[in-house]
Amino acid sequence: MVSIKALAQHLNISIGTVSRALNGRADVNPETRKRVLAAAEALGYVPNQSGRSLRQGTTNVIGFTIETNIETKSQGDTFFMSVFDGVQTVFARHQLDLVVLPCSSEDDPFDHVRRVVSRQFVDGLFISATQRVDPRIDFLIERGIPFVTLGRSQSGGEHSWIDMDFEGVAAGAVARLVARGHRRIALANTASGINLSYIFEDSYRRALAEHGIDYDPDIVMRGEITERGGYAICDRLLALPDRPTAVVLVNESLAIGIYRRLHDAGLMPGRDMAIIGLRQSPQARFLSPTLTCHRLSLHDVGVELAQSLLATMPAYRDHYPQGVTQKIWPMELVPGESDPPLGG
C-alpha cells in the first residue's frame, strides 16, 4: 500500500500539494492534479481512512447489527445477504462501506449497540430484530446517531423503519383457509419475543374474529424458528385431541420440519394438514407439495433501508429528501399445493 508521502516523493512534489490534488482542491494546477491522480492509480495509493476520519469527523462506514442466535444462523444467509446486497447498491454511489456487526447470543443487544456507538467507528446504524419496547432505539435517538430499523417497535416515536406486512399475511392466510373450509387453524410463532411475533399473532386473532372463529390458545404454538423447531411444533399439534386442519407459519423454515413430522406420522402435508408459510425462500421452493407462501424482493428492501438512512444524514439529505420513512413492505401470495380445500 503506497502512502501519500511515498506518492509525493515519487512525483517530486510536496505532500501538501498531493493531498490537495487528491481531495479536489481548486488551488491545484489542473496538470498537477492530473499527474497526481494518474500516479495514485498506477501505484495503488489508498487513503488512510483513520486520518481522513479524524479530519472530516466521519468514517464513511455504516453498521448493520444482527443477532447471531440459532434462528439467524439457520437462515441469515438467505435473508440478510440479499438485504446487504441492496444496501450496498446504494452505498456504492457514495463510496460508503457497510460492516456487519454480529451480536452474540450471549451478549445483550443494548450493550452491543452502546459499545459500537462509544467506539465511534460508524456514521450510522441499521438495527434488526426489533423488540416491542427496544431501548436501543431510544438510546440512538438520545445520542443523535442516524439509524433505521428493520422492524417496528413501540419505542422511538418518529424514527425511520421498514417492516414486512405481517398483518396482511396473517389476515390473508386465515381468509384463504376459511374460504377452503378450514375452521381449526393453528399458528406457529416464534418464542423469541421480537416484535413481529406480537404483530403476527395480534393480526391472526383479529382475522379469526372477523370470520367468527374463537381464538384457541392451545393451537398457538411458539418455538425455535428452525427446521427442528417446526418438527417439534408439529409434534405438539399432532398430540392434541382435536388437532387443527391447517397451520399458518410465521417463518418458512418451520415448514421443512413440519413436512418431515407429518411424513413420519404417515400423513401428507396439504392433504392431512394445510400449511401456509411466510416467505418464498430458496429452501421452500424444493418442498413437495409446493408451499403456499409469499414473495418479496429483499434486495429492494435493502435499497429502501439504505436510502432511508441516508435521508437522516445531513451530508446526503439533498440526494434523499424523503424525510422520515415508516413503511410496511407488501408481500405477494404465491399459491402452492400445501393448502387445498378441506377434504380435497
Low-confidence ranges of the chain (pLDDT < 70): 1, 24, 46-57, 70-77
CB 246 within 8 A of CB 274: yes
What secondary structure letter does DSSP report for 239? T
CB 277 within 8 A of CB 293: yes
Specify the amino acid at residue 191: A
Question: How far apart, in whole angstroms, are the C-alpha atoms of residue 100 and residue 156?
Answer: 23
The secondary structure element, H or E, covering residue 269 is none
Instruction: Find cell 454511489 and name the residue.
Output: 93
Read off φ and ψ for residue 42, nearest 5 degrees.
Answer: -65, -35
Nearest C-alpha neighbor of 250 from the set 322, 167, 314, 337: 167
Question: How far apart, in whole angstroms, are the C-alpha atoms of residue 36 and residue 61?
Answer: 26
Specify the amino acid at residue 319: H
Question: How far apart, in whole angstroms, are the C-alpha atoms of residue 74 and residue 230?
Answer: 13
The whole-number pLDDT of residue 1 equals 58
CB 305 within 8 A of CB 164: no
The whole-number pLDDT of residue 193 equals 81
Q: What is the pTM of this model?
A: 0.82
Q: H helices of 107-159, where?
A: 109-119, 135-143
Can you tell me whether residue 223 is helix, strand or coil? strand
Nearest C-alpha neighbor of 223 from the set 251, 184, 195, 262: 251
| Rama region for 28: left / alpha / beta (φ>0; ψ in -120 to 50; rest) | beta
Question: How far apart, in whole angstroms, are the C-alpha atoms of residue 115 and residue 107?
Answer: 11
